[in-house]
Amino acid sequence: MSTSPYLTLNVVDLTHETDDCVTIHLERADRQPIASQPGQFLTLIVPCEAGKRPARRSYSLSSTPHETPRLSVTVKRVPGGLVSNYLLDNVQVGQQLEVMAPMGNFTVQPNAAAARSLVLIGAGSGVTPLMSILKAVLHEEPQSQVLLVYGNRNEDSVIFKTQLQALEQQYAGRFQVEHVYSQPLGSGGAHQFKGRLNRTMLLRILEQRHALPPAQAEYYMCGPEGMMAEARAALDLLGVPAERIHRESFVASADSAEAAAGQPEGHGTVTADDDDAISARTVTIQYEGTDYQIEVRPDQTILEAALDQDIDLPYSCQAGLCTACRGKCHSGKVHLDEREGLSDSELKQGYVLVCVGHPLTNDVVIEID
């Protein structure tokens, strides 16, 4: 029997991080723990507009497993953003929120015996999953060191400012924050840099830290696409192996689609090529023990067609990134508009994301995880 991906959680506390950012602390009513990994995200299902389908947004966990039974997400107001504005204007302690269970692959697996160096690179609200990762590593790996390079507009826009200061004191010698401000309010300090967090700035910061061999550290980055591209360019110049660089993104990349070839037998074919024409097709969805036959129009994704028939499939970002809607294609051929959320191995095994999927044949059968 499959386990429902949906949870109803109580808002037990709110922490106002900045003028436009709040951390929402959530627990189950029975205070039982909820499995999660450092760096994962939570999908909130929010009834923002009366008469319309609830909106879903993914927010990285800023909590860690050792803070169980509490899960915390940090939400920054986005100008014109439907969900962020609804939450910041309306969320209150005592109310309930429906969520999907934590998921995501931007994670670390803490090991008490590890003695490693982590460099975390973030800007703005991209610090949220990095916060979860650094707290977990500092708490569970007493021999490991963590450097956080954190870009913001100024000192007042630093999310988790007080908490980061406390962690630096608690883990003195093991944890350091290097702040980068594009428009600083003050005159600067020993661990404060003025300018944009680009490749030049990152190289300057890393090269000043002689105790940290760049190629031997592990790197985790999260933030605007431009910042992450600059950070990756800096790490390439330092000779950091690709397998030591991890990134989290919720913005689809226009050039991320690549063809998945050489599919082994035993399942359907998944492609990101544009060679095959998309037309109206019938798809079979297997979910929670039921087979659903749905008609998918050329202008629809498989997920959109299922939702139009009131089939409550799990989903979140609707951009092919978060993997909440992942399924296994057992037969037929499926085209993906985006494939960034899936690894090459998953594509070869026939996994699809129905939020960006279109059937190319009439024998498509997809089993939703």
Architecture of domain 117-248 in this structure: 3-Layer(aba) Sandwich (3.40)
Among 329, 321, 326, smallest CA distance to 364 is for: 329
Three-state helix/strand/coil letters over the chain: CCCCCEEEEEEEEEEEEECCEEEEEEECCCCCCCCCCCCCEEEEEECCCCCCCCEEEEEEECCCHHHCCCEEEEEECCCCCHHHHHHHHHCCCCCEEEEEEEECCCCCCCCCCCCCEEEEEEEHHHHHHHHHHHHHHHHHCCCCEEEEEEEECCHHHCCCHHHHHHHHHHCCCCEEEEEEECCCCCCCCCCEEECCCCHHHHHHHHHHCCCCCHHHCEEEEECCHHHHHHHHHHHHHCCCCHHHEEEECCCCCCCCCCCCCCCCCCCCEEECCCCCCCCCEEEEEEECCEEEEEEECCCCCHHHHHHHCCCCCCCCCCCCCCCCCEEEEEECEEEECCCCCCCHHHHHCCEEEHHHEEECCCCEEEEEC
Check pLDDT > 50 for residue 356.
yes
Check pLDDT > 60 for residue 8.
yes
d(CA 17, CA 27): 20
Query: In which residue are the tokens 């627990």 written?
Result: 27
- % of the chain at pLDDT higher than 90: 56
What are the boundaries of each domain within the chain?
6-102, 117-248, 269-368
CATH number among 3.10.20.30, 1.10.10.60, 3.90.105.20, 3.50.50.60, domain 269-368? 3.10.20.30
Q: Which of 37-46, 76-85, 287-296 has the highest mean pLDDT?
A: 37-46
pLDDT at 295 (0 to 100):
92
Position 188 confidence tier, pLDDT thresholds 50, 70, 90: low
Q: What's the pTM?
A: 0.74
Check pLDDT > 70 for residue 192.
yes
Torsion over CA of 78, 22, 36 and 302, rounded to 10 degrees? -30
Position 216 confidence tier, pLDDT thresholds 50, 70, 90: confident
Arithmetic mean of pLDDT over the chain: 86
pLDDT at 190 (0 to 100):
64
Position 80 confidence tier, pLDDT thresholds 50, 70, 90: confident
Between 317 and 7, the more confident residue is 7
203-212, 246-255, 326-335: the lowest-pLDDT one: 246-255
pLDDT at 253 (0 to 100):
32
Q: Which of 122-131, 179-188, 215-224, 245-254 has the highest mean pLDDT?
A: 122-131
Position 213 confidence tier, pLDDT thresholds 50, 70, 90: low
3-7, 136-140, 148-152, 333-337: the lowest-pLDDT one: 3-7
Position 130 confidence tier, pLDDT thresholds 50, 70, 90: very high
Query: How is domain 6-102 classified at the CATH fold level?
Result: Elongation Factor Tu (Ef-tu); domain 3 (2.40.30)
Residues 292-325 pLDDT 10s: 889 999 999 999 999 988 888 888 888 888 888 8
Check pLDDT > 70 for residue 116.
yes
Between 128 and 209, the more confident residue is 128
